[in-house]
Amino acid sequence: MKPAPTPIPPHGSPRRAGAKLPPFERVVVPAHEPTATGWVFQGAPEGFVSKSFDRPIAKAGEVVCDVVLSSICGSDLHTVHGRREEPAPLILGHEIVGRITEIGGPGLSDWQGELLSVGDLITWSIMASCGNCFYCKKNLPQKCLKLHKYGHCTCEGNQPLSGGFSECIVLHPGTAIFKVPEHLDPVFVVPANCALATAFNAIETVGLQAGETVLIQGAGLIGIYLAAICKDLGASKVIVVDVNAKRLRIAERFRADIAVDLSESTGEALTDLVNAFTHCHGVDVVFEACGSDAVIEPGARLLRKGGRYLVAGLVTADARFDIPADLLTKNCLSVMGIHNYRPEHLARAMAFIDLHADSLPFDEIVSAVYPLSGLREAMKAASTGEHLRVALRCTPSKTNGSF
C-alpha cells in the first residue's frame, strides 16, 4: 500500500512562525545505528535502489547531519526522467534541512560566524567551494574548479552520503552553513537553498530598482519567489505569466499584481496589458524562470528600450536563446544569465523567510510530505506538476511530531 502524504497544515496554522511553539529540542543527539539508508539513483531508466551505508565519522572541518527534510527540485525530476545527465550512481536531493549529529573539530562556525553545536538545525549552500581557485577569486564560488555539489556527485568514492534522499549527509569544508531559527518551520525553509537563494541572485544581477515594472515568465518556485521579492523591493507592477492556473493563484498570494494564464490568453492580449501599464514603453525587466526557450523572443519584445532580460531557467543543453540581433542592438537591451548563487544570497533568503513568515504563505510551497521509504511515490507525486514541492521526511521526528 502506498504511504499517504503527511498533510501540511493550511495557511495560518499554529506551525507558522508567529505562533507560540515549543522550541526545537537542542540536546546531544543519541547514538545512531552504525548504518544509514540512502536512495541511490542508478540512472534512467534503471531508477532508484535503497542501499545501506556505513554511518560516516566527521573528519576535520566536516559536519555530519541527520537529514530532517529534503524536497524534490525540478532539476531532480529532470535527472530522473532523463532530461539531465548526472554522474550516476548518486544520491539526489540538494534542498535540505538537517540536524547536526557530529562536528569534525572544535570551533567550527556557520557563515554568520556563530559557533555550530551538535543538535543545531541547519541548512546550507548547495555547493562547497575551495575559496582559492580562479572562479572563487572572481566571486563565482558556484563555478569553483574543485566544486562539490550536494545531490549532484557520484556516491562511488570516499564519501557516498552526499545527497538529501538519505538518512544522513556529510557537509564538506567550504560549505556555507546557516542555522535555522527555532521559531521557523523547516517546511518553510527547505527550498530556500535552491530557488529562493537563486531568486535573490537574479534580483541582484539585474539591478532591480524601486518603481520598475517587471514581467516574470513562469510561476514555478523561482518565479513565485521573484514576485514576492520584487514587490518587497518596491517594484511598481509585477506581472507573472504561466499556463498553470493553480500556480498563478499562488503567485498572486505571493504579491504578484497580475497573473496571466497563457493557456487562456493570446500574446497580443499580453502585449496590450503590458502597454496599458507602461504607457506603451514596455517593462523595465523580464525574468525568464520557466525553462522554455519559446518565451525568449516574446519576452524580449515586451521590454522597453534599454530594458534588461535575466535568464535563470534555461539549463538544459538543447535550450537556445534566439532573438533577432537588431532587436538586441537597436533597443539597447541587456541580457544576463545566472546559475545558482553565492552564500550571501542564501543569507538574504533566510532573512526574507524570517521577516515574512507571517505575511507570505510559505506553507503552500511544500504541499505533500512522504517518509523516506516512500521516495518512489513522492517522485510520482512531484512529476504530476500538481505540487510546487514534494518533500521527504528522512529521519523520525524527535519529539511531539516536530522536526
| pLDDT exceeds 70 at position 31 | no
Same domain, 90 and 220: no
CATH code of 238's domain: 3.40.50.720
In which element (H, E) is residue 240 found?
strand 237-242
Same domain, 183 and 204: no
Same domain, 231 and 251: yes
Which own/partner pairs from 237-242 qualify as long-range (CB within 8 Å, at least 24 positions apart)?
Answer: 237/213, 237/277, 237/283, 238/213, 238/214, 239/213, 239/214, 239/215, 239/273, 239/274, 239/277, 239/283, 240/216, 241/215, 241/216, 241/217, 241/270, 242/218, 242/290
Residue 400 falls inside a structural domain: no
Same domain, 152 and 206: no
Taking the complete model, does pTM exceed 0.95, yes or no? no
99-155 per-position pLDDT tens digit: 999 999 988 999 999 999 999 999 999 999 999 999 999 999 999 999 999 999 998
Residue 11 falls inside a structural domain: no
Range of the domain at 290: 198-337
Same domain, 379 and 332: no
190-239 per-position pLDDT tens digit: 999 999 999 999 999 999 999 999 999 999 999 999 999 999 999 999 99
pLDDT of residue 116: 97
Compute the distance between CA of residue 309 and CA of residue 292 in angstroms, rounded to an integer. 14
Q: Are 54 and 74 in contact (CB under 8 A)?
A: no
Same domain, 246 and 330: yes
Same domain, 50 and 68: yes
Give 402's pLDDT tier (boundaries 50, 70, 90): very low
Same domain, 272 and 142: no
| Residue 157 amino acid letter | G
